[in-house]
Chains A and B, each alone.
Chain A
Amino acid sequence: MKVERRAEGVLQFCALVSVFAAGFAAVLVRFKEEQIDHVAEHRAAMASQSYRYERVSGERGRIFARGMETLAGNSAAVDIVMDPAFFATMPRFARSAPQYAGDTPEDRMLAAMQMVSAVVGRPAEIDAAKVRRHLKTETSRPMTVWRNLTVAELARFVEHGDAFPGFATASRQTRTYPQGSLAAHVVGRTGRDAPPPAPDGSGRGFAEMEICGRDGLELQYDEYLRGEPGEVRTAVDARGFATRREVVDFPRKGPDLVLELDMSLQRAAESQLKGVKGAIVVLDPRDGAVRAMASSPSFDPNDCTPVFPKALYDKYASDPAKPLFNRAAGGTYAPGSTFKPATALAALASGFAPEYVYECTGAYGAGDMRIRCARTWGHGELDLVHAICESCNPYFCEIGVKTGARALAEEAKKFGFGEKTGIDLPADASGSVPEPADGGADPAGAVRRVGDVAQVSIGQGRLLVTPLQLARMVGAIGTGWLCTPRLNAALPAVRKALDVPKADLDAVRKGMFMVVERGSGVAAGAGVAARVAGKTGTAQVGAGTHRRKNTLFVAYATPAAGARRAEPLALAVIVEDGETGGATAAPRAGAILREFYGGEGA
């Protein structure tokens, strides 16, 4: 009986255990297939389901003036962000809290926002539609709810924030311009834009709007300043909500930019332009380093960042004074008498002697045109040096017409007129030098009549130059070198020798020194501890009731005994709607030079 029962048990045990063995073997075979044979596929599938990539921008390089005064820097704006994952994966019991009541993540987020806005003290910048869109398209990313917290708002949030899990503060890089409107046209401004695509087309995932240059150096050196973007990898759950964020590639800060600008000169230049329209450029004539570049009216780039408010932009855009426009490098003006040194050099090159004498009778007749001199009854007989000093129109019309339009145009081009200066700024205008009419080809705006040639020789008519070009010209007269102006101190100095005999230059310089010593430009040299050579200019623009006068002064200065600074300077001042070059522009130049070199009354 017992044996029989035992045999039955053994039989049934064996049968059952073999079924178990078969079952477990089948399961193990499948495990081996999935875990050993297909492991790579499963890992790849998990990775693609699990990660989102996001570009993060590096800190933007700063911009410094000479002496490391900050022109453009960075600071952090504090935002409050919400973590959608928290509200989507909240355990049921947690939803009993009133701030997290709601059936959907969207409802809960809106309810919580309502509560937190009482703490922050202002309503959220987000509505239901935005929440929906964020949950749909940027599920894995935190959602910014309040931007640019004030200190008081931040303090309130930090004090009460513990009661609202799911909210956090986040800092965001913003561009600041500690000097305000100082050198605003040089530094430029920034906006926000989608980042440029990666050169190798490897861009993937999200990319937040980044700070980008819109004008000035910020635009010119945008790529340089940006630095290298990094990448953040977000591990997400099955619904796309973030579970972990990690930096896979740290962003690298953009290199800083150090300028040649001299802040004391820049401040002096801008203070001289207060309340008027105009521009001032100060260069180091030896290597083209821009020491000051002012344009008025100006603007504060802080008001235009991170985004240009539309109302402000419209106000600027409709302002006839064009505050956003860099007159110093981009404004084109008739140079007026400040062009006369170039006319003189052209005449000297074509065979005139500095001793050439012409009798000024107060006007010059050129065909059917009568060009009047500044002195109604004429200067009488004078030579070239005195003609420069007195800025005698008929003398320069005479030698200009005799020299010819072609030679004048070529001389102008020697000084870089009619072409861009090559400065590292987007606003680099070329101006225009009128070409003489050639028998067949007759370009529009060509110099055709004798009167036109006479106009060009005294810097009027179709001749247009920028203040930067003028400063470069006067620097070239002073040193014999034509420099490419530059703002970035890291750029190599580029200059070429002026193709003008030294004797000719000396004659013109002599006249220009005389202008400041006892001519129309005395205001520029009075009490300045430097030797200043200059030329005033007053250009008639417009016609009829719109007739206005742009007043100019160009000068180069070399330090004299007792000067504070040992560098030579070349400068150009233009004030629109002034009285005369001598009365309006020259005193401003004098003030700037006094500021730099020191002297009486400085």
Chain B
Amino acid sequence: MTGVRAFLSRFMWVQFAAMVLLLAAGSLALASAGEARGGAVMAGKWKDALATAAFAFAAYFAIASVDYRKLLRLFALPGYIFSVVLLVLVLVAGSEQFGGKRWLWFFQPAEVAKLCLVAFIAWFWGGDREKDRWRFGFAGFAFAVAVAGIPCVLILVEPDLGSVMALAPACLAMLLCAGVWRKGLLALLAAAAVSAAAVLGAVHEAYRPGTPPEKTAAIMRYVPLRRHQAMRVKTFLFPESDPLGAGYNLRQSKMALGSGGARGKGWRRGESVRRRLLPPMGVMNDFIFCVWAEETGFAGSAVLIALYALLCASTARAAIVARDGSGRLLALGMATLVFAHVYVNTGMTVGLVPITGLPLPFMSLGRTFLATTVLGLGLVQSVSIHREE
């Protein structure tokens, strides 16, 4: 087949359509929230997001038309090293905002690192299992822990727990699918589950109603969480405990979403954002989903989830047609990364996941994240287009 015809016939239109529709929904939500925030700057933010998306989509088509194997070969290793350097740099020279160092100049290195780590894992463990046997054994496992661990730890130090909560599952899924020393990975998973359970249990014990404050302090001394993180876990366990304090955001986000009802209040009629009932700094980022859900109701949130499901499924589908392991891993990794973001972000608004700062793909105003997501999905598009006939 000739180039253009192959491109058009193998192009994953479902993925592209889902992205465009999500971006449209995001623009509506951002326009509404921006208008409510007040001021021309905020009201025009949705245009900034669309401008970024326009550039990112240009790159998306460019990447899709280039063989992903060539891109991985050229950029996976330097990209990974570059992203780690950026993560170190942001800790040294980043600008501080809301108690965290996440910004370097105009972008967030953590978002760049997500894409680079996924690409690196796909490149490194995508090869032939028989040829590079060590990569899939214990040594490979140890190397994987180091490769994934370094950016994760650096991101945790920022601190940006949310990003790690989305990135770690993606890495784990890729490594499992790649076939890296399964016993080790499962043990790691088990260890993570056990420690998470231990932390939850300890926090539960510490903040159970009726616990004396001395006991709470004594327990919390041994729990490796920062104070605001501990409070979020506490709210997750006891949502009604402190509606005006730590539980405020959860209460307000549930109220915003719940008051939307089945059909919603109508575009630009969301009350929580107009009356600043939701934290104003979060309505265009972490809580953008609440704005959408309040204005469009259950119908709108179900449509949005359906679009995300289509996006994730179509992205993951490239794994079936991929010509090699790295293509398969890229597709699975990017799909998991998007899914994890959507799940954590929407789940936190209804108390399924502790409240944490994490953007919602195509909806939030995070422009670095928007760009890297589009680029990553472009790579997967390339996997689909450059399949083996």
By a beta-carbon cutoff of 8 Å, the part of chain A in contact with chain B is 2, 5-6, 8-10, 12-13, 16-17, 19-21, 23-24, 26-28, 30-36, 38-39, 41-43, 45-46, 49-50, 89, 91, 93, 235-239, 241, 243-244
Q: CA of A21 to CA of B306 in the docked complex: distance in angstroms?
A: 10
Task: Beyond A26-B347, A27-B350, A43-B258, list 7 extra A-B contacts (CB 8 Å).
Answer: A5-B322, A13-B332, A34-B350, A35-B298, A39-B259, A45-B255, A50-B271
Q: CA of A13 to CA of B259 in the docked complex: distance in angstroms?
A: 37
- Chain B residue with minimal CB distance to A32? B298
**A12: shortest Cβ distance to chain B, in Å?**
5
B257 within 8 A of A: yes
Chain A residues closer than 8 Å to B308, beta-carbon distance? 24
The contact of A10 among B302, B320, B325, by CB within 8 Å, is B320
Chain A residues closer than 8 Å to B298, beta-carbon distance? 31-32, 35-36
Q: CA of A237 to CA of B320 in the docked complex: distance in angstroms?
A: 51
Residue pair B257, A34 in contact (C-beta under 8 Å): yes
The contact of B305 among A5, A27, A33, A241, by CB within 8 Å, is A27
- Chain A residue with minimal CB distance to B352? A30
- Chain B residue with minimal CB distance to A236? B275
**A24: shortest Cβ distance to chain B, in Å?**
5
- Which residue, of A5, A27, A33, has the highest number of chain B Cβ atoms within 10 A? A27
B86 within 8 A of A: no
Residue pair B177, A237 in contact (C-beta under 8 Å): no
Residue pair B297, A35 in contact (C-beta under 8 Å): yes
Residue pair B350, A31 in contact (C-beta under 8 Å): yes
The contact of B293 among A13, A31, A45, by CB within 8 Å, is A31
- Chain B residue with minimal CB distance to A243? B275
Residue pair B38, A91 in contact (C-beta under 8 Å): yes
Q: CA of A33 to CA of B257 in the docked complex: distance in angstroms?
A: 11
**B238: shortest Cβ distance to chain A, in Å?**
17
The contact of B343 among A23, A32, A34, by CB within 8 Å, is A23
Q: CA of A50 to CA of B276 in the docked complex: distance in angstroms?
A: 10
- Provide the main secondary structure of the chain A interface: helix
Residue pair A35, B258 in contact (C-beta under 8 Å): yes
Q: CA of A89 to CA of B281 in the docked complex: distance in angstroms?
A: 12
In the complex, per-residue mask of B300-334: 1 if CB is within 8 Å of any chain A CB, else 0 = 01100100110011001101111011001000100
Q: CA of A28 to CA of B302 in the docked complex: distance in angstroms?
A: 7
B209 within 8 A of A: no
Q: CA of A239 to CA of B275 in the docked complex: distance in angstroms?
A: 9
Q: List 24 A-B contacts (CB under 8 A).
A: A5-B324, A13-B319, A17-B312, A17-B316, A20-B309, A20-B312, A23-B339, A23-B347, A24-B308, A30-B350, A31-B298, A33-B350, A34-B257, A34-B350, A42-B258, A43-B258, A46-B256, A46-B259, A50-B271, A91-B39, A93-B41, A237-B276, A237-B277, A243-B276
Residue pair A24, B309 in contact (C-beta under 8 Å): yes
List residues 248-292 of chain B with CB under 8 A from any CB of chain A: 252, 254-262, 271-272, 274-278, 280
Chain B residues closer than 8 Å to A23, beta-carbon distance? 339, 343, 347
Chain A residues closer than 8 Å to B259, beta-carbon distance? 39, 42-43, 45-46
Q: CA of A42 to CA of B277 in the docked complex: distance in angstroms?
A: 13
Q: CA of A41 to CA of B41 in the docked complex: distance in angstroms?
A: 35
B173 within 8 A of A: yes
Q: CA of A171 to CA of B302 in the docked complex: distance in angstroms?
A: 49
- Chain A residue with minimal CB distance to B327? A9
Chain B residues closer than 8 Å to A8, beta-carbon distance? 328
Q: CA of A31 to CA of B293 in the docked complex: distance in angstroms?
A: 9
Residue pair B255, A9 in contact (C-beta under 8 Å): no
The contact of B332 among A12, A50, A244, by CB within 8 Å, is A12
Chain A residues closer than 8 Å to B381, beta-carbon distance? none
Q: CA of A236 to CA of B346 in the docked complex: distance in angstroms?
A: 26
Residue pair A20, B335 in contact (C-beta under 8 Å): yes
**B109: shortest Cβ distance to chain A, in Å?**
24
Residue pair A39, B262 in contact (C-beta under 8 Å): yes
Q: CA of A239 to CA of B276 in the docked complex: distance in angstroms?
A: 8
Residue pair B339, A35 in contact (C-beta under 8 Å): no
- Which residue, of B258, B309, B343, B388, has the highest number of chain A Cβ atoms within 10 A? B258
Chain B residues closer than 8 Å to A34, beta-carbon distance? 254, 257-258, 350
**B10: shortest Cβ distance to chain A, in Å?**
15
Residue pair B335, A16 in contact (C-beta under 8 Å): yes
Q: CA of A235 to CA of B350 in the docked complex: distance in angstroms?
A: 25
Q: CA of A33 to CA of B350 in the docked complex: distance in angstroms?
A: 10
- Chain A residue with minimal CB distance to B343? A23
Residue pair B276, A89 in contact (C-beta under 8 Å): yes
In the complex, per-residue mask of B7-45: 1 if CB is within 8 Å of any chain A CB, else 0 = 000000000000000000000000000000011010000
Residue pair B261, A39 in contact (C-beta under 8 Å): yes
In the complex, per-residue mask of B123-154: 1 if CB is within 8 Å of any chain A CB, else 0 = 00000000000000000000000000000000
Chain A residues closer than 8 Å to B317, beta-carbon distance? 13
- Chain A residue with minimal CB distance to B258? A42
Residue pair A27, B277 in contact (C-beta under 8 Å): no
List residues 78-122 of chain B with CB under 8 A from any CB of chain A: none
B163 within 8 A of A: no
Residue pair B313, A46 in contact (C-beta under 8 Å): no
Residue pair B275, A235 in contact (C-beta under 8 Å): yes
- Chain B residue with minimal CB distance to A50? B275
In the complex, per-residue mask of B343-354: 1 if CB is within 8 Å of any chain A CB, else 0 = 100110011100
Chain B residues closer than 8 Å to A241, beta-carbon distance? 276
- Chain A residue with minimal CB distance to B36? A243
- Chain B residue with minimal CB distance to A39? B261
Residue pair A24, B276 in contact (C-beta under 8 Å): no
Q: CA of A53 to CA of B241 in the docked complex: distance in angstroms?
A: 28
Which 5 pairs show the lowest CB-CB distances between chains A and B?
A42-B258, A237-B276, A35-B298, A34-B258, A30-B350
B336 within 8 A of A: yes
**B301: shortest Cβ distance to chain A, in Å?**
5
Q: CA of A454 to CA of B214 in the docked complex: distance in angstroms?
A: 95
Q: CA of A236 to CA of B271 in the docked complex: distance in angstroms?
A: 10
Residue pair B257, A31 in contact (C-beta under 8 Å): yes
Residue pair A17, B255 in contact (C-beta under 8 Å): no
**A234: shortest Cβ distance to chain B, in Å?**
11
**B387: shortest Cβ distance to chain A, in Å?**
10
Q: CA of A35 to CA of B309 in the docked complex: distance in angstroms?
A: 20
Q: CA of A229 to CA of B65 in the docked complex: distance in angstroms?
A: 72
Q: CA of A24 to CA of B309 in the docked complex: distance in angstroms?
A: 7
Residue pair A39, B258 in contact (C-beta under 8 Å): yes
Q: CA of A28 to CA of B305 in the docked complex: distance in angstroms?
A: 8
Q: CA of A45 to CA of B95 in the docked complex: distance in angstroms?
A: 38
CB contact under 8 A between A50 and B257, given known A10-B320, A13-B320:
no
Residue pair B275, A237 in contact (C-beta under 8 Å): yes
Q: CA of A241 to CA of B277 in the docked complex: distance in angstroms?
A: 11
- Chain B residue with minimal CB distance to A241? B276
Chain A residues closer than 8 Å to B316, beta-carbon distance? 13, 16-17, 20
Chain A residues closer than 8 Å to B332, beta-carbon distance? 12-13, 16
**B365: shortest Cβ distance to chain A, in Å?**
16
Q: CA of A43 to CA of B177 in the docked complex: distance in angstroms?
A: 46
Q: CA of A588 to CA of B386 in the docked complex: distance in angstroms?
A: 118
**A147: shortest Cβ distance to chain B, in Å?**
30
Chain A residues closer than 8 Å to B321, beta-carbon distance? 6, 9
